[in-house]
Amino acid sequence: QVQLVESGGGLVQPGGSLRLSCTASGFTLEYYAVGWFRQAPGKEREGVSCISNSDGSTEYEDSVKGRFTISRDNAKNTVYLQMNSLKPEDTAVYYCATILPHMYGSLHEDDFGSWGQGTQVTVSS
């Protein structure tokens, strides 16, 4: 069964950190670029970051630049999102998704194929 599973979400205080994981099963994640998205209550889903499958190039949405880091471990079939200096406005359900390598750089959700079920991140004191 082809699926992506996100994990690592939770409740954290402002200024804190979390590391999200996106693990693939049923297929080799190494063959795809991968993106992270988030959807806050009452808002549309937005692209946060993506990573290529070739040279490890990365892209970030402006509000998370310098705070979030995307990485991948192909041996573990997993992509990570390290989130530091978290703010209340980072509160959302976070999703990972795959995109074909030649489309790397896009953060338009319609360009992405397989999606995980999401993991909740809540930043609150």
pLDDT of 88 reads: 97
With H, G, I as helix, E, B as strand and everything else as coil, classify residue 15.
Answer: coil
Largest Cα separation within the chain, whole Å, is 42
Q: According to the model, what pLDDT value does residue 32 have?
A: 95
**Alpha carbon 71 to chain centroid, angstroms:** 10
**pLDDT band (50, 70, 90) for residue 1:** confident
Summarised one tens digit per residue, pLDDT across range 33-75 is: 999 999 999 999 999 999 999 888 999 999 999 999 999 999 9
Residue 56 has a pLDDT of: 87
Which of 37, 7, 2, 18 shows the shortest CA–CA distance to 119?
7
| CA gap 9, 50 in Å, rounded | 18
Question: Can you spell out the DSSP letters for 51-118?
Answer: E-SSS--EEE-GGGTTTEEEEEEGGGTEEEEEE-S--GGG-EEEEEEEE-GGGTT---GGG---B---
pLDDT score of 24 more than 90: yes
